[in-house]
């Protein structure tokens, strides 16, 4: 049984097709990356999975049941747009939201206490929501998403605005929930996070799926066509239009995408000839970032 | 159902515990007690003050009658006026006047009444004082002078009478209200009850309607509505919100009702203790009126609150609220300013038709019931029309709400709103 099965779903708003004939299958226990440029239809898709919106066509199943107000309680949701009741106490807001997901208030109170402790917010329990910093509010909202131990967790940009310590705290909790059997849908524009965390992805553009499947398999299908180089010296040696299709500078690191059939050895030769000191020379699969850009610009072409 | 209950509870508790609610709910009765206390205090303070007056009688011989007419007593039983000196036809009017003015300036005198020579021909008397705003004294003096002049005129024509003021006092008329079951003497209580009921309904509908709208906008601007929508059906969220705000209003009226009853009883007994013979007007609210008012209020609250909620769902921020709420608030304002039409003739064709219009019914039909109970079929028809309209409007509002809470940016046009209604 899939955690999520989306079958040929379409959703229109007036004349705009937000989602067209989208099909998604998310395995139970997976971390699934839902990717796409702004306005691609990600939020609409997620809202349909959560039964906030109903599809015009197609069907959605959540853990084997048709999406309904009953399946809502199986899902935890961290929306991209953050916000909680500004004038309520942190504890009260979280207990209220947990109770809405089906917990008894006694149980909710207990768990809120535990979670606040764990995320270092225990001292803020009786403070008003708007006394909290942005990062703290985001942690509080994350608690609201996970407090009922949902079998399905939907996180929209969970790490934005968090410092590295808090980001790693949230990441650890996500992995822990996954160990316990939860399925996680991660929607983000940060491709390095997707590469590190996701098992499978779906890339949506203009409401349609343009790339879907196992992340390793997808990357493998592109082959090791990229050279990652770290060096000191003049970078003119990479001016090799016959070999290099595209260059990506990251300051200390350069990624060079090779033309089909080009021999990476030629780049090495050029570097040595120019007296550039290499500290790293590695043949890799294309970064997801490039695949993303390629797929999205393909559609625009 | 459990989720509706949770929404009601949150809405209710956060509001009831807010500073604003506590301030208005407890503050208003306290303020009323304060006003009552101050006014009672002022009333008792007046007992110390006896007005010291002199009479400058240029006509001659009118002073005794005027003095007799100033028989006002203070609450403690002492006379209200002390006649310091009567100056009957002084050798020099001018000199006398100056001297009396000096006494007023030196605060040995509160004022003096000057009777002109030709007062019998209609020239008015003049009261010289530092405080011409004291209308109670002015009225008493005017009354005493009038009576003295009338008495003198009659005497001059050979009519001799003792107590002229009793003879010339008017009687006025009293109003008797005829109802289906009997009749009762009317001392303005119909008017007061009518206005009070209309005011309360109007203010409550506006205040709590707008509170519902603000609550919707708050959830939208803080974006929490996205999380709520992933946990609760929008219709349940809307219902819980409307009922929660209604419960807050009910609590507020309960507190005010109880403290008001106690306050009236307390005020009446205080007034009776301090001012013998004084009593507050007896405002009797018939149970049937209260029941009808509650019924109409309930239906129309759902009507207006759901419309306000839909308006809240259409906007993205507080700034736009003023604009969008105007049409709905205007309907309430119109029903309120139409009350004189009903007051003048509660059974006229215009009144009957106006009180049938569901948007006006909560105010106007209840007003009709308060001042002159209309035939039952009219009440029933008005209520039925209100119920049907409310059922329809709640449906439409819920649809607008469901779509609107997730829409940001430009406010929808009318055409877009109509399309929203068709979304699944």
Q: What CATH number is attached to the domain comprising B151?
A: 3.40.190
Q: What is the mean pLDDT of residues B317-322?
A: 79
**Residue B348: predicted pLDDT:** 87
Q: Is residue B116 part of a domain?
A: yes
Do A161 and A244 lie in a common domain?
A: no
Q: Do residues B71 and B127 make contact, with C-beta atoms less than 8 angstroms apart?
A: no
- For residue A283 the two structure tokens come to 């043949």
- The residues in A 199-218 lying below 8 A from B, measured between CB atoms, are none
Do residue A34 and residue A57 come from a single domain?
yes
A88 chain-B contacts, CB cut-off 8 A: 14
Pairing of strands A75-78, A31-35: unpaired
Enumerate the residues of chain A whose CB falls inside 8 A of the CB of residue B222.
83-86
Separation of alpha carbons B111 and B186, rounded Å = 40
> Is residue A219 one of the residues assigned to a domain?
no
In this prediction, residue B424 has a pLDDT band, given cuts at 50, 70 and 90, of low
CA A212, CA B342: separation in Å to the nearest integer? 70
- Mean pLDDT of the A224-246 span: 81
Measure Cα distances from B255 to A185, B29, B108, B251, B260 in Å. Answer: 50, 9, 51, 6, 8
Same domain, A172 and A257: no
Of A214, A240, A269, the last residue of a domain is A214
Distance CA B293, CA B155 (A): 60
Tell me whether residue A292 is in a domain: no
Q: What mean pLDDT do residues B34-63 have?
A: 76
Same domain, B72 and B111: yes
Instruction: Answer yes or no: is pLDDT of B283 > 60.
Output: no
**Quick one: closest CA in A to B3, which residue?**
A100
Three-state SS at A25:
strand
In this predicted model, which residue has the larger pLDDT, B187 or B285?
A: B285
Residue A289 lies in a domain: no
Question: B139, B168, B197 — which closes off a domain?
Answer: B168
Q: What are the chain B neighbours of A95 within 8 Å (beta carbons)?
A: none
Query: With contact defined as beta carbons under 8 Å apart, do A148 and A76 qualify?
Result: yes
Cβ burial, residue B99 (10 Å; 0-12/13-18/19+): middle
Is the domain of B140 the same as that of B249?
no
Supply the pLDDT for residue A121.
93
- Phi, psi at A42, each rounded to 5°: -65, -50
Global ipTM = 0.84
Using CA atoms, how far apart are residues B400 and B389, in angstroms rounded to an integer?
16
What is the mean predicted confidence (pLDDT) over A76-94? Answer: 90
Are A98 and A237 part of one and the same domain? no
Cα separation, B23 vs B17, in Å, equals 10
Q: Which helix (H) or strand (E) holds A231?
A: strand A226-232
- In this structure, the answer to whether residues A152 and A182 fall within a common structural domain is yes
- Compute the distance between CA of residue A219 and CA of residue A248 in angstroms, rounded to an integer: 18
Provide the pLDDT for residue A147: 94
Q: Are residues B105 and B243 in the same domain?
A: no
Q: What is the DSSP letter of A277?
A: E
Identify whether the C-beta of residue B53 lies closer than 8 Å to the C-beta of residue B23. Answer: no
Residue B10 has pLDDT above 90, yes or no: yes
DSSP designation for B24: H
| Same domain (yes/no): B305, B334 | yes
Tell me if A296 is assigned to some domain: no
Confidence of residue B187 (pLDDT cuts 50, 70, 90): low
Helix (H) or strand (E) holding A245: strand A244-249
Number of domains comprising chain B? 2
In a domain, B182, yes or no: no
Answer whether B227 sits within 8 Å of A79, measured CB to CB: yes
The B-side interface with A (CB below 8 A) comprises 3, 6-7, 10, 14, 18, 218-219, 221-224, 226-233, 406, 416, 419, 424
Instruction: Supply the range of the domain harboring residue A265.
Output: 224-284
Has residue B393 got a pLDDT over 80? yes
- By residue range, what is the domain housing residue B86? 49-168
Lowest mean pLDDT among B101-110, B260-269, B272-281, B385-394: B272-281
Write the CATH number for A38.
3.40.50.300
Weakest mean pLDDT among B208-222, B256-270, B347-361: B256-270
Q: What is the pLDDT of residue B281?
A: 52
Q: Do A53 and B406 touch (CB under 8 A)?
A: yes
- Record the tokens describing residue B65, joined without a space: 């009658």
Q: Which of B157, B15, B140, B132 is nearest to B74 (CA)?
A: B140
**Contact assessment for residue A88 and residue A129, using Cβ atoms and an 8 Å cutoff:** yes
Q: pTM for the full model?
A: 0.76
Rounded to the nearest angstrom, the minimum Cα separation between B229 and chain A is 6
- Asked whether the beta carbons of residue A54 and residue B424 sit closer than 8 angstroms, the reply is yes
**For B226-247, how does the pLDDT look when each residue is reduced to its tens digit (9 = 90+)?**
899 999 988 899 999 999 999 9
User: For residue B195, what pLDDT is reported?
Assistant: 79
Residue B39 lies in a domain: no
Q: Which residue has the higher pLDDT, B226 or B73?
A: B226
Closest CA to A194 of A22, A79, A5, A34: A34
* Residues A184, A122 within the same domain: yes
Judged by CB atoms closer than 8 Å, whether chains meet at A96 and B6 is answered as: yes
Read off the pLDDT of each residue in A144-161 and give the average, rounded to a whole number: 93
Burial, B122: exposed, middle or buried (Cβ in 10 Å; 0-12, 13-18, 19+)? exposed
Considering the domain architecture, whether residues A262 and A120 belong to the same structural domain is answered as no
| Record: contact A100-B419, CB cut-off 8 A | no
Residue B166: CB atoms within 10 Å = 9
Residues B358 and B278 both lie in one domain: yes
For an interface test with B, give the residue of A100, A140, A143, A147 to mutate (most B CBs within 10 A): A100
- Confidence band, pLDDT 50/70/90 cuts, at residue A293: confident
Query: What contacts A215, CB < 8 A, 6 or more positions away?
Result: A33, A194, A195, A198, A199, A200, A201, A288
Could you report how far apart the first and last alpha carbons of chain B are, in Å? 22
Place B183 in a pLDDT band, splitting at 50, 70 and 90. low
Mean pLDDT of B7-33: 86
Is residue A138 situated within a structural domain?
yes
What residues in B contact A100, CB-CB < 8 Å?
A: 3, 6-7, 228, 231-232
pLDDT at A106: 94
Distance from CA of B423 to the nearest CA of A (A): 8
Tell whether B62 and B102 lie within a shared domain.
yes
Q: Hey, is A32 helix, strand or coil?
A: strand
- Average pLDDT for A191-212: 91
**Using an 8 Å Cβ cutoff, are A48 and A67 in contact?**
yes
Long-range contacts of B151-159 (CB under 8 A, 24+ apart): B151/B65, B152/B61, B152/B62, B152/B65, B152/B120, B153/B120, B156/B120
CB pairs under 8 A between A and B: 60
| Residues A84, B222: C-beta atoms closer than 8 Å | yes
Nearest to A161 by CA among A41, A80, A43: A80
Subunit contact B222:A83, Cβ cutoff 8 A: yes
B406 closest CB neighbour out of A52, A88, A99 = A52
Q: Is the pLDDT of residue B275 over 60?
A: no
B14 and A87 in contact by Cβ < 8 A? yes
- The percentage of chain A sitting over the pLDDT mark of 70, rounded to a whole number, equals 99
Residues A205 and A235 in one domain: no
Pairwise CA distance, residues A162 & A169, whole Å? 10
How much is the mean pLDDT over chain B? 82
Task: Answer for the pair A289, A191: CB distance below 8 angstroms, yes or no.
Answer: yes
> Is the pLDDT assigned to residue A20 strictly greater than 70?
yes
Q: What is the mean pLDDT of residues B81-97?
A: 86
Tokens of A69: 């107000």
Tell me whether residue A240 is in a domain.
Answer: yes
Q: Which of A255-264, B26-35, B384-393 is modeled with the greatest confidence?
A: B384-393
Taking residues A220-243, report their average pLDDT.
81
Q: A242 and A169 share a domain?
A: no
A52 touches chain B (CB under 8 A): yes
Say if residues B181 and B287 touch (Cβ distance below 8 Å). no
Domain contains A233: yes
Determine, yes or no, domain membership for A197: yes
Cβ of A64: how many Cβ atoms within 10 Å?
11
**pLDDT digits 0-9 by tens, B125-162:** 999 888 777 777 888 888 888 888 888 888 888 877 76
For residue B18, the chain A residues in CB contact (below 8 A) are 87
Instruction: Tell me the β-bridge partners of A185.
Output: A32, A154
Q: Which residues of B touch A101 (CB under 8 A)?
A: 231
pLDDT tens, position by position, B203-214: 888 889 999 999
DSSP A287: P
- Inside any domain, residue B147: yes
Q: What is the pLDDT at residue B188? A: 65
pLDDT given at position A103: 93
Please tell me whether residues B297 and B397 are part of one structural domain: yes
Residue B90 lies in a domain: yes
**Chain A residues within 8 A of B406 when measuring between CB atoms:** 47, 52-53
**What is the percentage of chain A residues whose pLDDT exceeds 90?**
53
A77 in contact with chain B, both atoms CB, cutoff 8 A: yes
| Residues 127-186, chain A, touching B (beta carbon < 8 A) | 141, 144
Q: Pick from A75, A85, A88: which is nearest to B230 by CB?
A: A75
**What is the CATH classification number for the domain harbouring A249?**
3.30.70
For residues A92 and A160, membership in a common domain is answered with yes
């Amino acid at each position: 049984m899939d955690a999520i099965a989306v079958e040929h779903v379409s959703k229109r708003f007036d004349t705009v097709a937000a989602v067209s004939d989208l099909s998604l299958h998310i395995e139970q226990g997976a971390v699934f990356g839902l990717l796409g440029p702004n306005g691609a239809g990600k939020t609409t898709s997620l809202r349909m999975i959560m039964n906030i919106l109903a599809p015009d066509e197609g069907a959605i199943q959540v853990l084997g049941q048709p999406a309904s107000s009953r399946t809502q309680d199986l899902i935890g949701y961290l929306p991209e747009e953050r916000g909680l009741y500004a004038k309520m106490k942190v504890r009260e807001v979280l207990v209220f939201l947990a109770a809405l997901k089906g917990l008894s208030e006694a149980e909710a109170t207990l768990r809120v206490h535990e979670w606040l402790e764990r995320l270092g917010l225990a001292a803020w329990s009786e403070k008003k929501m708007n006394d909290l910093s942005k990062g703290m509010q985001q942690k509080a909202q994350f608690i609201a998403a996970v407090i009922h131990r949902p079998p399905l967790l939907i996180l929209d940009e969970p790490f934005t605005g968090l410092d590295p310590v808090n980001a790693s705290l949230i990441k650890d909790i996500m992995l822990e929930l996954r160990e316990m059997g939860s399925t996680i849908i991660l929607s983000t524009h940060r491709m390095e996070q997707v590469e590190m965390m996701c098992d499978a992805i779906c890339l949506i553009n203009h409401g349609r799926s343009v790339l879907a499947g196992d992340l390793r398999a997808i990357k493998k299908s592109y082959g090791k066509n990229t050279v990652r180089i770290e060096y000191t010296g003049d970078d003119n040696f990479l001016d090799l239009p016959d070999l290099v299709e595209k260059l990506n500078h990251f300051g200390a690191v350069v990624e060079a995408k090779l033309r089909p059939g080009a021999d990476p050895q030629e780049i090495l030769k050029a570097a040595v000839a120019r007296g550039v000191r290499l500290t790293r020379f590695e043949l890799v699969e294309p970064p997801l970032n490039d695949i993303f850009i390629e797929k999205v610009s393909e559609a625009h072409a | 159902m459990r989720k509706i209950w949770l929404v009601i509870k949150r809405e209710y508790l956060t509001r009831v515990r807010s500073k604003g609610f506590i301030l208005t709910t407890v503050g208003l009765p306290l303020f009323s007690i304060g006003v009552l206390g101050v006014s009672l205090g002022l009333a008792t303070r007046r007992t110390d003050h006896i007005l010291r007056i002199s009479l400058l009688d240029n006509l001659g011989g009118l002073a005794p009658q005027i003095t007799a007419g100033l028989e006002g007593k203070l609450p403690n039983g002492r006379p209200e006026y002390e006649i310091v000196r009567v100056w009957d036809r002084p050798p020099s009017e001018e000199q006398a006047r100056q001297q009396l003015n000096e006494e007023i300036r030196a605060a040995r005198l509160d004022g003096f009444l000057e009777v002109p020579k030709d007062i019998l021909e209609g020239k008015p008397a003049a009261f010289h004082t530092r405080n011409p705003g004291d209308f109670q004294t002015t009225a008493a003096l005017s009354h005493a002078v009038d009576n003295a002049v009338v008495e003198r005129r009659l005497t001059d024509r050979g009519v001799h009478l003792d107590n002229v003021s009793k003879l010339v006092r008017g009687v006025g008329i009293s109003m008797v209200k005829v109802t289906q079951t009997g009749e009762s003497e009317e001392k303005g209580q119909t008017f007061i009850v009518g206005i009070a009921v209309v005011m309360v309904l109007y203010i409550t509908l506006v205040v709590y309607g707008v509170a519902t709208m603000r609550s919707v906008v708050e959830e939208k601007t803080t974006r929490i509505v996205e999380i709520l929508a992933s946990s609760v059906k929008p219709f349940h969220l809307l219902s819980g919100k409307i009922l929660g705000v209604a419960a807050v209003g009910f609590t507020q009226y309960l507190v005010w009702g109880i403290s008001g009853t106690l306050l009236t009883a307390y005020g009446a007994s205080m007034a009776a203790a301090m001012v013998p013979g004084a009593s507050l007007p007896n405002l009797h609210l018939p149970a049937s009126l209260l029941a009808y008012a509650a019924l109409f209020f309930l239906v129309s609250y759902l009507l207006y609150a759901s419309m306000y909620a839909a308006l809240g769902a259409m906007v993205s921020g507080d700034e736009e609220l003023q604009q969008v709420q105007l049409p709905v608030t205007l309907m309430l304002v119109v029903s309120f300013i139409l009350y004189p039409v009903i007051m003048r003739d509660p059974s006229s064709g215009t009144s009957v038709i106006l009180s049938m219009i569901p948007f006006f019914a909560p105010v106007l039909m209840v007003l009709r019931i308060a001042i002159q109970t209309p035939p039952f079929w009219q009440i029933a028809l008005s209520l039925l029309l209100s119920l049907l309209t409310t059922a329809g409007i709640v449906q439409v509002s819920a649809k607008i709400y469901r779509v609107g809470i997730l829409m940001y940016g430009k406010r929808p046009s009318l055409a877009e709103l109509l399309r929203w209604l068709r979304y699944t």
